[in-house]
Structure 1
Amino acid sequence: MADKNGTKITILGAGNVGASVAYTFAVAGTCSDIVLVDINKAKAKGEAMDIRQGVSFGENVEIFDGGYEDAKDSDIVVVTLGIARKPGQTRLDLAQTNVNIIKEVMPQVAKYAPDAIYVVVSNPVDVLTYTILKCTDLKPNQVIGSGTALDTSRLRSIIADHVGLSPNSIHAYVFGEHGDSSFIPWSIMNIAGVPVDEYCADQDHADLDEDEIIDEVRKAGAEVIKRKGATFYAIAMTVNKICDTVLRDSKNIITVSTMINNRYGISDVCLSLPCVIGSNGIEKEVSPKLNDAEIEKLQASAKALRNVIDQIQF
């Protein structure tokens, strides 16, 4: 593959998620070069060929299959390695299997692309983001777990449907684990600066049920898996947003999973809180003022993740 001035993203894993991410990059014109790497070389080649054959109708993107060494000079490496979640399985059930895969592959890839920003998508994403930081010399700002970025998007869509607005006008977040202990910090949720409950009352919308909404957000992925066997489009759009933000140095604030140290009484665990994302990856951490009940929920989420980390063989 010829060196050129452009932006290069390597995607590790060419399964449903990896292929959908590559397709989304190609359609959006997010980068100039995409490399797909998979243990199943024929699958990676087939996916690359399939996308390449359509680019004359869109943005000009070079897309190849390759090996770990082809990650060299990547601006971003997207990690979709591992076994996907099956119906009825929690993300944490996958932990040890996928930790083992990450431990084997990531030190090799990091050797070829030590300066890249790594966007981790594989589940359990918080545990695997932590694993990558432990098994490589990558710095915490370089490793971004997709975390609750997707949960946040799901939450905004749910509230937008309820109040009849665009999800872009809903300022709401999901914090904590990308999983069963996640929570919504209701106290900071607003629409045009108006607290959501107040907005609903002013505009004659029915009240929102907090428990119902967090339940719907948490189960959203499992519901899709139950019906179609896997989730990949929404996460591909999420990853594209994160990568586009890095490549454009956009300084967007996104809830992503990152190593937490001394925030809200939490340390040495990866979970999602708002971060400013730019060309250096995690540029700044944002710590909104939460009430005591919310801090308790965040700490409980950290504890749930810490319990898993403590049981894993790194």
Structure 2
Amino acid sequence: MRFVNRKVALVGTGLVGMSYAYALLNQSVCDELALIDIDQQRAQGEAMDLNHGLAFSGSNMKIYAGGYQDCSDADIVAVCAGVAQKPGESRIDLLQRNTEVFQSIVGPVVASGFKGIFLVATNPVDVMAHVTQALSGFDDHRVLGTGTALDTARLRYLLGEYFSVDPRNVHAYVMGEHGDSEFVPWSQAMVATKPILDIFRSRGVTDYQKDLDHISEEVRNAAQKIISAKKSTYYGIGMAMVRITRAILGDDHSVLTVSSMLHGEYGERDVYAGTPCIVSRDGVKRTVELTLTPEEREKLHDSCELLRSVYRDIRGV
């Protein structure tokens, strides 16, 4: 009998990283978890805290504070490390500082002999996933970001509330940048197998667009509302990371809106953006190209153009 050890190395033990680690433990997603942080004492404390809960979990995970050498046999290296934006700091300056942080991370990970999948959660996630791919030299299917996975979950939750339907039976996506230029392709949104726009028409509802615009705004502004209330967001993105991790380790071939490199899909190239992708043991197996309306394709193009321009302005990649 051949036993497989599912191993994740987590770089960055802040709130997002540890929300991910805690969810990994509670869902028994992996067998081994290495916590890596520039603050080694913090990583050790987090490992101790998680280990003390093992007796109450359904998992027998091996959890420990490690170093970059522990990435050598990992299946996934999840990167949550980064610097916070300073008051008055431009996004490009923040990107430049985070790129320097990633230079100190990606090089040692690759030097360890790591052959697995990079999963990036650090914001702005689309650009940082692109930076990780450039710095690592990995085939781009092996480097993905969390993209609009969380935005899509927020959308499905709100649509479930609106239609009084289990969100798991809502099929709708947020695409493009994980940020202000993201959009919802409403032409592709469905409850079960029925398009949402057809549901409105069958009910004789003609002024539905204002409700859809309101839901889109709620999704787009959700993070800022949470930050305003509790300073930061971490539970949702941690669970989104676990869902992506499960798809990779389980070779699930799940359709998830991760950030990946586009190679001509939707007419876009040389950019990381959130689109529905098949995620498996190989990382991004392929992009699922939806049939967008001309207006939706224009929105995706504008979002991709923004991401391309931001990436071009970064020095050192």
Please classify the TM superposition score into its range, dividing by the shorter chain length. over 0.9
Q: Deviations over 1:226-260 (max 9, x none)?
A: 11111110001100000011111111000110111
| Structure 1 contact 87–225 (Cα < 8 Å) conserved | no
- In 2, the alpha carbon distance for the partners of 1:133 and 1:141 equals 9
Counterpart of 1:284, as a letter, is R
Number of aligned pairs?
311
| Structure 2 contact 256–276 (Cα < 8 Å) conserved | yes
- In 1, the alpha carbon distance for the partners of 2:118 and 2:7 equals 12
Q: Deviations over 1:72-104 (max 9, x none)?
A: 200111010102457998976632221111122
Residue of structure 2 equivalent to 1:269: 271
- In 1, the alpha carbon distance for the partners of 2:75 and 2:251 equals 12
Residue of structure 1 equivalent to 2:66: 66
Q: CA shift at 1:213, angstroms?
A: 1.8
Alignment of 1:1-314 (within 5 A): 5-58=4-57, 59-84=59-84, 94-200=94-200, 202=202, 207=208, 209-314=211-316
- In 1, the alpha carbon distance for the partners of 2:269 and 2:170 equals 30
Q: CA shift at 1:28, angstroms?
A: 0.5
- In 2, the alpha carbon distance for the partners of 1:90 and 1:207 equals 37
| Structure 1 contact 126–270 (Cα < 8 Å) conserved | yes
* Aligned CA distance change for structure 1 residues 91 and 11 (closer, same or farther; 3 Å): farther
- In 2, the alpha carbon distance for the partners of 1:74 and 1:192 equals 37
Counterpart of 2:214, as a letter, is E
Q: CA shift at 1:198, angstroms?
A: 2.5
- In 1, the alpha carbon distance for the partners of 2:164 and 2:85 equals 33
* Aligned CA distance change for structure 1 residues 91 and 74 (closer, same or farther; 3 Å): farther
Name the TM-score, length of structure 1 as normaliser: 0.94
SS state at 2:304 partner: helix
* Aligned CA distance change for structure 1 residues 91 and 239 (closer, same or farther; 3 Å): farther
SS state at 2:177 partner: coil
Identity of paired residues, percent?
37
SS state at 2:264 partner: strand
| Structure 2 contact 95–124 (Cα < 8 Å) conserved | yes
Q: CA RMSD for the aligned pairs?
A: 2.0
* Aligned CA distance change for structure 1 residues 45 and 168 (closer, same or farther; 3 Å): same
* Aligned CA distance change for structure 1 residues 88 and 49 (closer, same or farther; 3 Å): farther
- In 2, the alpha carbon distance for the partners of 1:233 and 1:265 equals 34
Moved more, 292-301 or 210-219: 210-219
- In 1, the alpha carbon distance for the partners of 2:203 and 2:49 equals 48
* Aligned CA distance change for structure 1 residues 91 and 150 (closer, same or farther; 3 Å): farther
SS state at 1:264 partner: helix
Please, which runs of 5 or more residues in structure 2 have no aligned partner? none
Please, which runs of 5 or more residues in structure 1 have no aligned partner? none
Q: CA shift at 1:211, angstroms?
A: 2.2
- In 2, the alpha carbon distance for the partners of 1:16 and 1:27 equals 16
- In 2, the alpha carbon distance for the partners of 1:165 and 1:91 equals 38
SS state at 2:144 partner: strand
Q: CA shift at 1:210, angstroms?
A: 2.7
Name the TM-score, length of structure 2 as normaliser: 0.93
